Amino acid sequence: MVRIVDNDSDYDESSSLPMSQQEEWSDVVPIPQDDGKNPVCPISYTDEYREMTDYFRAVMAAGEVSQRAFELSGRVIDANAAHYTAWVYRKKLILDLGLDISEELSWVSEISGRHIKNYQLWHHRGALLALLLDPKSLEHESQDQRVQNPAIRNELQFVGEVIDNDSKNFHAWSHRQLVVRSYGIWDQEMAYVETQINQDVRNNSAWNQRYFVLTANQSADEFVLSEEVADREIGYAVEKIKLAPNNESPWSYVIGLLARHAPAMLYERLLPKINELAADKDYAIAVTSTPFYWSALVDIYEEQAKALSVDERGGVEAFAEEACDSLAEKYDPIRAKYWEYRKQALRTAN
Is the Cβ–Cβ distance between 295 and 251 less than 8 Å? yes
**Tell me, what's the pLDDT at 15?**
61
80-102 per-position pLDDT tens digit: 999 999 999 999 999 999 999 99
- DSSP secondary structure string, 128-169? HHHHHS-GGGGTTS-HHHHHTSHHHHHHHHHHHHHHHH-TT-
199, pLDDT greater than 80: yes
Residue 337 among the catalytic residues: no
280, pLDDT greater than 60: yes
229, pLDDT greater than 90: yes
156-169 per-position pLDDT tens digit: 999 999 999 999 99
Is the Cβ–Cβ distance between 7 and 67 less than 8 Å? yes
Cα gap 160→176, rounded to integer Å = 8
Whether the model pTM is above 0.85: yes
CA-to-CA dists, residue 106 to 95, 120, 217, angstroms = 17, 16, 29
Cα gap 139→158, rounded to integer Å = 24
> How many CB atoms are closer than 10 A to CB 164?
12
141-156 per-position pLDDT tens digit: 999 999 999 999 999 9
Find the catalytic residue in 117, 136, 240, 337. 117
256-273 per-position pLDDT tens digit: 999 999 999 999 999 999
